[in-house]
Structure 1
Amino acid sequence: MINAAPADAGNVSVPTMAGPRQTSVPELVVATGFSVMAVSYMINAMDRQVFAPLLPTIRSEYGFGLQEGGLLATGFTLGMALAGLPAGYLVDRFSRKTVMVVSIVIYSLGTLATTLASDWVDMSAYRIFSGFGEGMQSAALFAAVGAFFNHRRGLAFGALGVAFGVGNFLGPLVGVHLATTYDTWRAPFVVFGSFGLVVALIAVFAVSRRMTERVVEATVSTATFDYMPASPYNRNSIALAISTAIGGVVIYGVLGLYPTFLINQLHYTRADSALALSFVGFGGVAGLLGGWLGDRVDQRNLLIGSYLGISVVGILIYQAQGALGWQCVFAFLMGVGTGFVFPNSSSAMQRAVRPNQVGLGAGLFVTSYYLLAAFSGLLFTALVAAFGWRQAGMWQVTVLPLVAVLALAFVRTAQFNNAVRQRSH
């Protein structure tokens, strides 16, 4: 059990929205609520990952070109980016639970609607609509969890990363199995979309507002944040936003087109490419370790090491181009890298702003991570068309993370809201 703060054995202390008065949230309520939120995030991941291994089949049916397919594979993140800042505004002012539930319904309906697409424009619209819901959920979910588990934010985000990794692992495997069983690529979209609507209904009753609506300031009333910039758009948050945006381009460039690379370049079967992609999700389970470390070490240095690791893995995937077993290993290592980058970028962004700006921090992270990621597939396919897979992988997956490292050099963790400070007397 992850404890939000020191509490009695059977309860977790949490302030109400009305002020600093403490109320007690039973651990069963916390465990149930967190589990449902984690499952909803797992479905979010499955919805995203089911598209990539089915892209060659979808391209064949609709006659899409490689670049059109690449834009479809990652274009949904444009919707996520557009949702980030508005969702951050909403969750700082309205019920985070309501925003979460509505967002799950939105991305589930978008997933279902994808099966109705008649052309590229239709499918793009449905993908962006689905992404908008996923972005809303991410902002609301991370704001709620970040506020409730304020003292163990990195670990809590790591646990969510595990759920997301499980979704990444299951999405390609289950999706391809359903498509093969029912002889249509539409089957997994129907199943996943329907499952999402069921989870939204469960969340209405199973997720307590005593978890989602926590006020952070009351838990840190003995601290002063005068040492932090008043604006949420400060040196730390901007530097983190730049590195996060680059991370989105790198990671989604890989996720969106990895199966296409395996099928077109290495001549894998659809099932084998889905298996290799699923290992990215398997490696993402390392997010629990990454988040745990993020609460204990300098997050800037941890992120720098993570990006350097991703850069090396890019060399292995696109330059070594090993057999299936090796590609599964490389994909697993890429998943480990993403499992470290995602929760630590998200928690660091919230730590870079004052506690009453947690929602804006969460929204800024979502927008930063997903805005340029929407075009990562288009960039990757353009590089492939111009230089081939090896050089494309070198530039987008090996060189680009080094720019993120440069941006992180400007981060000062001493100005994070979890820095140890004593109130001046």
Structure 2
Amino acid sequence: MGETESRRYAIWFVAILILAYTFSYIDRTILTLMVKPIRDSLQISDVQLSLLHGLAFAIFYTFMGIPIGRLVDRYRRTVIVAIGIAIWSLATALCGFAATFVAMFAARIAVGVGESTLSPAAYSMLADKFSGKKLVRALAVYQSAIYLGPAIATLFGGVLLGKLAPVDGAFGHFEPWQQVFVAVGLPGLLIALVVLTLREPARRGAGATVGIPSFGAVLAHMRGQFSAYGLLILGLCLQSVMWNGTTFWIPEHLKRAYGWSSSDVAWGYGPVIAICGTLGGLTGGWIAGWLRDKGRSDSNVVIGVIAAATACPFAIAAPLMLSGQASLALYGMFLFLGAMPYGGAAAAFQEITPNRMRGQVSAVYLFWLNLAGIGVGATLVALVTQHVYGGDHGLSAALATVGGSAAIASVLVLTLCLAPYRRAQAAIA
């Protein structure tokens, strides 16, 4: 294969992974725009709604990630990803058939099971195709789906909700929110077929030619560099609480605090998270690469410190503004700055981990990251809203409290991580 063709295929390979990740975020976040109609139909509270978004999704997403990480280190990763896409796409469509909280909870669990296949495999494959600052930037581009997915979900969902009406058909009565779940779920089956056409990257790097280590051996490796892995995971988990706890509730905050409609949120918040989040993620990858060129081998951790420190004041101020436009403008800055660390974060684990352990180590990282961010973040905001600030109208204050506190804690933990992370890099070099 010629160099030009190889480069084009690498771009195509990354583009398909981004497309898959974008659809995963569409399917997991479409619920955030439909808080009120889902609450009204299922007769549930904010806390129960947050459990559908968080715990139901995260519990199997996190626990399945570790055994799937082991499969990633052993078998063909493209096939694993394709199967996962098919599972989460069908499960998203099944959310549209849910008539009770329990049925929706079960469907959201299945979404989490399917999505748990993607990132451990994607991280591993991208680390086999790129290295150094190219890996950081490839992962930053891949992570842009974190912002594109919710943006598309917000825009597409908002438009559909404004146009759809309840229907009665062969499968019973369908509210507009149920129709939206079916509409966003089924197209993922086509992406699963495309992923099957990708060539499996050859494994390379430290440990690429050895057998698959046991999970116990992986944990032993991580314990050997406990300060690096432990502080890195804790710092990023706190940042995930800040990010997920905030972004889940922004649409509902705009509605409750300023009286915005779903359409207003779709055309306001949708473009903001798409533009600011994507640019922030790409900027973070570029800064991490630039710092690396300047001699900062720990640049993938430094970018996390920078992101949390600069996003913190906006996390506190944005929900307390007097107008929706001012709140959204400050949230745009929060989204830009808060998006910066995730490409570097994914690369950071690849750089201190032997090849045949990367899938399992990525799964451990994602286990804690998603348990904290998705499983706890949104629910923590709901609990603070209800039990500290007295109910629905306390959402804005709860967002400021949880977002600001998590950001400050993340800065402190990731700063402590810098020195042990450099030692872990030296140990594997």
- The reply to whether residue 90 of structure 1 matches residue 71 of structure 2 is yes
Q: Does 1:163 align with 2:145?
A: yes
Which of residues 270, 279, 295 in structure 1 aligns to 2:262?
270
Q: Give 1:366-405 correspondences, 5 Å limit.
A: 366-373=366-373, 374-385=375-386, 386-387=388-389, 388-405=394-411
Once the two structures are superposed, the pairs formed by residues 153-302 of structure 1 within 5 Å of their partners are 153-183=135-165, 184-205=176-197, 207-209=198-200, 211=201, 213-217=202-206, 231-233=221-223, 234-278=226-270, 279-286=272-279, 287-297=281-291, 298-302=299-303
Q: CA deviation at 1:137?
A: 1.0
Q: How does 1:144-159 map to 2 (within 5 A)?
A: 144-151=125-132, 152-159=134-141
Structure 1 gap ranges (5+): 1-6, 12-25, 221-228
CA distance in 2, matches of 1:142, 1:265: 39
Amino acid at match of 2:15: S
Alignment check: 8 A CA contact 1:252 1:376 kept: yes
CA contact (8 A) 2:257 2:396 kept: no
Measure how far apart 1:198 and its partner are: 0.6
User: 1:108-119 to 2 correspondence within 5 Å?
Assistant: 108-119=89-100
> How far apart, in 1, do the equivalents of 2:273 and 2:60 lie?
23
Q: Which residue pairs with 2:335 in the alignment?
A: 335
- Runs of 5+ in structure 2 lacking a partner? 166-175, 210-218, 292-298
The equivalent of 2:173 in structure 1 is none
User: What is the aligned partner in structure 1 of residue 347 from structure 2?
Assistant: 347
Counterpart residue type for residue 18 of structure 2: A
* Alignment partner of 1:414 is 2:422: yes
- Checking the alignment, whether the CA contact within 8 Å between 2:301 and 2:345 is kept in structure 1 is no
Q: Partner letter of residue 117 of structure 1?
A: A
Superposition map of 1:65-144 within 5 A: 65-75=45-55, 76-144=57-125
Q: Is the 8 A contact 1:74 1:253 kept in 2?
A: no
TM-score by length of 1: 0.85
The letter of the residue matching 1:257 is W
Residues 216/192 of structure 1: CA separation in 2 closer, same or farther (3 Å cut): farther
Amino acid at match of 1:393: L
Considering fraction of residues, name the structure with more helix.
2
Task: State the shift of 1:218 in Å.
Answer: 8.1
Tell me, in whole angstroms, the C-alpha distance in 2 between the residues paired with 1:343 and 1:33.
Answer: 17
Letter in 2 for 1:140: A
- Does the CA-based 8 Å contact 1:164-1:281 persist in structure 2? no
Asked if 1:32 corresponds to 2:24, the answer is: no
1:240 is displaced (CA, Å) by 1.0
Query: Amino acid of the residue matched to residue 54 of structure 1?
Result: M
Residue 379 (structure 1) shift: 1.4
SS in 2 for 1:397: helix
Give the whole-Å Cα distance in 2 for the aligned partners of 1:319 and 1:71. Answer: 25
Partner secondary structure for residue 144 of structure 2 = helix
**Displacement after TM superposition at 1:299 (Å):** 2.5
Match of 1:226 in 2: none
Output the TM-score relative to the length of structure 2: 0.84
- 2:159 is matched by which residue type in structure 1? H
Aligned residues: 390
Give the % identical residues.
19
Deviations 1:58-115 (A, max 9, x none): 1111111121112223232333222322222221111111111111111111101101
The residue that corresponds to 1:21 in the other structure is none
Distance across 1 between alignment mates of 2:150 and 2:65:
21
Deviation (angstroms), 1:281: 3.1
On the 8 A contact 2:205/2:354 being kept in 1, the answer is: no
SS of residue matched to 1:295: helix
- State the superposition RMSD in angstroms: 2.5
TM-superposed CA distance for 1:8, in Å, is 6.7
Q: Alpha-carbon deviations, 1:272-291, whole Å to 9, x = none?
A: 22334322232121212212
